[in-house]
């Protein structure tokens, strides 16, 4: 039996759920959750995705994500794949971490985003982990109501704007809306699913069905093509060398002062579709942990050097176009 087609188009909104294989935990300690959030932040930056809300439980996570470029498959393949690689290396294991593919429901933003955000934010309460949702740290909810520092990569504005233009008042009203779910059985909005893949009103469903006309719901050939990286390692080396004004051979020279080399490692990791170990092999057989450290050093250098930051942003823009 074929797996359902992921419906992708610019501006599409999804409720994503991904669970641990055999219901096992995918987060064993706080550091794992921190790493996963860092990956979400990175993909927000790289693909311009809008993350409206999230919650990380021990054996699964929920994320409400909007894709301005219509590239959900590529984004989720990267997020789950990268976290699996981190988890397997850290805990010296191999194989699948997640239970099959993530569950991605296409959502009618105007009709269901607000309801879904409440469903996501009340997850820790339903699981009897906390009595009140703001007591749970690994959720975007405390940020929404001013109980925790906001993340630059979470899109709070759309949901809060539904409660008015005054931010302080909007946060208070949103908190009241969430707390209604503590005292009333609002049920799961996913009970209204159409065809197990869509959540929306009649007009929304008809619009999507017109988009799907002529497509087979069991075919994923187009999705597999989208997953293929269009950027080769040679492309990365050539572009970095060109912008930094150095010979391509210089990028292979080891040394902390070789900023072009660090930049090439950084972009290879992000855009060439390679794991850290593969990137390490391309740069003289360095350890996969050294690949992460090189990228981290580049980010630290960028924070201190405005000119370097502008150079990196210039290269980044070329990969995104």
What's the pLDDT tens digit per position in 209-242? 887 766 544 334 333 333 344 578 888 899 999 9
pLDDT of residue 314: 86
Q: How far apart are CA 259 and CA 301, in angstroms?
A: 9
- Ordered by where they begin, the domains of the chain are 12-225 (3.30.70.1290), 229-320 (1.10.1750.10)
Q: In this predicted structure, what is the pLDDT of residue 42?
A: 92
Cα 233–chain centre separation? 23
Q: How far apart are CA 280 and CA 155, in angstroms?
A: 35
Nearest to 198 by CA among 3, 1, 7: 7
**Can you list the residues of the chain whose pLDDT is less than 70?**
1-5, 213-230, 255-256, 273-275, 320-321
pLDDT tens-digit series, residues 282-308: 888 888 778 878 888 888 888 888 899
Buried/exposed code over 281-311 (b: 16+ C-beta within 10 A; e: otherwise): ebbeebebebbbebbeebeebbeeeeebeeb
User: CA-CA distances (angstroms) from residue 80 to 40, 73, 268, 277?
Assistant: 10, 11, 18, 17
Residue 218: its pLDDT value, please? Answer: 39
Nearest to 117 by CA among 135, 99, 143, 98: 143
Residue appearing with tokens 């987060």: 27
* Pick from 111, 116, 119: nearest CA to 201: 111
3-state secondary structure of 302: helix
User: Does the predicted TM-score (pTM) go above 0.85?
Assistant: no
- CA 268 to CA 264: how far, in whole Å? 6
Give residue 3's pLDDT.
Answer: 53
- Distance set, CA 320 to CA 68, 82, 129 (Å): 13, 19, 41
CA 124 → CA 61, 141, 154, distances in Å? 11, 11, 19
Q: Which residues contact 207 (CB under 8 A, 6 or more apart)?
A: none
Q: Please say whether the beta carbons of 117 and 37 come within 8 A.
A: no
pLDDT at residue number 143: 96
Helices 233-244 and 306-320 sit at what angle, rounded to 10 degrees?
Answer: 140
Name the pairing type of β-strands 103-107 and 198-199.
parallel
Burial of 165-180, coded b for 16+ CB within 10 Å and e otherwise, reads: eeeeebbeebbebbee
Only one residue has tokens 């000119």, namely 307
Give 300-305's long-range contacts (Cβ < 8 A, gap of 24+): 301/259, 301/262
Contacts of 184 (CB under 8 A, 6+ apart): none
Residue that has been written with the tokens 């820790």 in this structure:
124
């Amino acid at each position: 039996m074929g797996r359902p087609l992921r419906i992708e188009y610019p501006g599409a909104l999804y409720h994503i759920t991904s669970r641990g294989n055999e219901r096992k935990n995918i987060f064993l300690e706080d550091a794992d959750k921190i790493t996963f959030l860092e990956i979400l932040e990175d993909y927000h930056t790289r693909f311009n995705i809008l993350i409206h809300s999230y919650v990380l439980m021990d054996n699964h996570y929920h994320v409400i994500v909007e894709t301005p470029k219509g590239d959900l498959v590529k984004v989720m393949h990267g997020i789950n794949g990268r976290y699996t690689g981190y988890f397997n290396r850290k805990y010296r294991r191999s194989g699948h971490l997640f239970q099959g593919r993530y569950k991605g429901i296409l959502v009618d933003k105007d009709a269901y985003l607000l309801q879904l955000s409440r469903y996501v934010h009340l997850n820790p309460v339903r699981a009897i982990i906390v009595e009140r949702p703001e007591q749970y740290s690994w959720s975007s909810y405390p940020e929404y109501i001013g109980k925790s520092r906001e993340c630059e990569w979470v899109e709070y504005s759309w949901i809060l704007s539904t409660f008015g233009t005054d931010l302080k008042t909007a946060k208070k009203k949103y908190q009241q809306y969430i707390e209604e779910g503590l005292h009333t059985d609002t049920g799961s909005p996913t009970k209204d699913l159409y065809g197990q893949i869509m959540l929306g009103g009649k007009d929304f469903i008809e619009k999507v069905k017109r988009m799907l006309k002529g497509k087979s719901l069991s075919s994923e050939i187009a999705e597999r093509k989208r997953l293929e990286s269009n950027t080769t390692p040679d492309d990365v080396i050539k572009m970095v060398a060109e912008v930094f004004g150095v010979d391509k051979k210089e990028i292979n020279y080891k040394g902390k002062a070789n900023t072009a080399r660090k930049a090439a490692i950084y972009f290879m990791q992000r855009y060439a579709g390679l794991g850290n170990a593969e990137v390490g092999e391309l740069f003289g057989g360095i350890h996969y942990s050294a690949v992460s450290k090189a990228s981290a050093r580049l980010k630290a250098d960028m924070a201190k050097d405005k000119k370097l930051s502008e150079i990196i942003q210039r290269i980044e823009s070329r990969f995104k176009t």
